[in-house]
Amino acid sequence: MSEKIIPRNYGSIPHFQSSKMSQQADKKIDIGSEKILTEKTRDWKDLIIVTEKIDGSNVGVIKKNGNIISLTRAGYEATTSEYEQHLYFDKYVTQNFNKFSWLHEGWRIVGEWCAMAHGTIYDITGDSPFLAFDIFDENNVRLTYLDFIGYTFKYDIASVPLLHIGQPISIKQAIKLLGNGHYGKPENPEGFVYRVERSGEVDFLAKWVRYDKEDGKYMKDVIWNNGFKKL
């Protein structure tokens, strides 16, 4: 097995109390943290952001030793993956080098690669197969949402749809804002991710996944999402 480029591209986000948990290692946020996100902030310093959760393969792009490298979730170079979808992601990064060449040394951009159906089939005709949702600096610290959006807008990188930014918002209201999903005409949208930023830093995140979501139910048959063009 090849050596890891970094220890891990992305970790696990804890669930809301009412979120569908599918793995034994899944964790939930505490009630107090959930209330900050959905009912009342601690004070004016808290900013609540909600984005659509996309059901793809977690990937990233890092600049290391001056090189732009595509990554799988576990932190390996995408070219070493046994899965064909990751080889296509590496080709995507190569073909869209200018979208990522600006990264500072040690920085990485993280997102979902939606070439292949996992638990949700998408129609990505006319949409980017890669959707970013985080940028980390050389110290593995998340950039704030506004800084993240600034970079993705400047370099024409598609990002996960924004549902809400501002004060706390209930899960019920977030479900209404999610509606039928805003990316890829999903059969059913997977859910959403909340984050709270405080005094210019990302404090914590939590996710909500619909109760009937079946993780990876399409992966055995290797179904490519509608509209994905093999590179």
Both tokens of residue 80?
Answer: 């070493």
Q: What is the pLDDT of residues 141-182, one digit of tens each?
A: 999 999 999 999 999 999 999 999 999 999 999 999 999 999
SS3 content of the chain, % helix, strand, coil (to 5): 20, 30, 50
Q: What is the pLDDT of residues 96-109, one digit of tens each?
A: 999 999 999 999 99
Q: What is the pLDDT of residues 89-141, one digit of tens each?
A: 999 999 999 999 999 999 999 999 999 999 999 999 999 999 999 999 999 99
pLDDT beyond 60 at 1: no
Q: How far is the CA of 153 from the CAs of 75, 129, 202, in angstroms?
A: 26, 16, 20
86 Ramachandran zone, left/alpha/beta (phi>0; psi -120 to 50): alpha
Domains, the chain, in order of start with CATH, read 31-214 (3.30.470.30)
The mean pLDDT value for 42-65 works out to: 98
3-state secondary structure of 177: helix
Element of type H or E holding 173: helix 171-178
Residues 6+ apart with CB under 8 A from 110: 9, 10, 58, 59, 60, 132, 133, 134, 135, 136
The mean pLDDT value for 190-197 works out to: 98
pLDDT beyond 60 at 208: yes
For residue 67, the 8-state DSSP code is E
pLDDT beyond 90 at 231: no
